[in-house]
Amino acid sequence: MKKLILLGLFLSQLAVNQAQVNRKTFPLSREFKKSGFSISPLATVSFGNKGDQSLFTNDTGFEWEHAEVGRGTWNAGVELGWFKTFEDYQVWDYVEAAISYRRFSGVHYLEETNVSVPAGQVLLPYKEYENSWRYETITAAVRLIDIAFQKPNSFLTWGVGVNYDYLIANRFDSEYPQRFLTNNETPFNKKHAVRAHFQLGYGLKMSKHLFLIPTLETPLITILPTSTFNPAIQFMDVNYQPLIIGLKFMILRKDPVNCNAPQLKNMPSM
């Protein structure tokens, strides 16, 4: 996460340095309206970590060592968006508002090794419990996007934004359910979350009216709830860092009022 924050700071400085460069105003032609719509199929995946090892002892004197390992699995979503370009910008080229359906899933492995037994007993065999989870949200997002390294038919985009995630469904299947029975706790018991996100993309001008922008997005920090700043999805004691891969189709709308003819800002006085 620290690397992503440093990357964001570097790109921010780069955008400020380029602010005085004379670039064409997005979306590259004055004959189109300064706002438009987008649709983006999404592929989602998450990267689980390995939890700390722990010891568990029962009343009969058996002692086990537990290790938890997480692995994210591929899933899907879709996003609908609206964008509005800025005039006389300094850093940001356009603002984007979007609403999306996102589905994440993963597998959790609990590795159990018997390390101590009462006198006269033999060590029990190694066991591995497989647990799975699913997490579905409706997400509303607002992003500020900058365009860098612009060429006639391609450009790099990057931006930061705030996402509001509303949990609409979740499911978990566990071969080791005892962990969820303490104080009637279950995973994913918080329905609302606000997180800061970072998005990187590479835009291609497919036609006069269509841009295609493959994007990568990941959360940087949790703003609400304030119990943790970690933006990862937590299942048992494993954190899963989400990665959202998008294929954004931005549709440009022709502006019947504007044209490509030059306009004088200061008309000569008579």
Domain assignment present for residue 261? The answer is: no
Domain assignment present for residue 266? The answer is: no
Q: How many domains does the chain have?
A: 1
Domain assignment present for residue 28? The answer is: yes
Can you give the length of the chain in residues? 270
Domain assignment present for residue 263? The answer is: no
Does residue 11 have a pLDDT over 60?
no
Domain assignment present for residue 267? The answer is: no
Domain assignment present for residue 110? The answer is: yes
Residue 158 belongs to what domain range?
A: 2-251
Question: In which band, very low, low, confident or very high, does the pLDDT at 34 lie, cut at 50, 70 and 90?
Answer: confident
pLDDT at 66: 86
With H, G, I as helix, E, B as strand and everything else as coil, classify residue 223. Answer: strand
Distances (CA, A) of 250 to 27, 157, 205, 216, 255: 10, 13, 10, 16, 16
- Please report how many Cα atoms fall inside a 13 Å half-sphere around the Cα of residue 207, on the Cβ side: 7
pLDDT at 7: 55
Domain assignment present for residue 257? The answer is: no
pLDDT at 37: 95
Does residue 27 have a pLDDT over 80?
no
pLDDT at 23: 46
Domain assignment present for residue 154? The answer is: yes
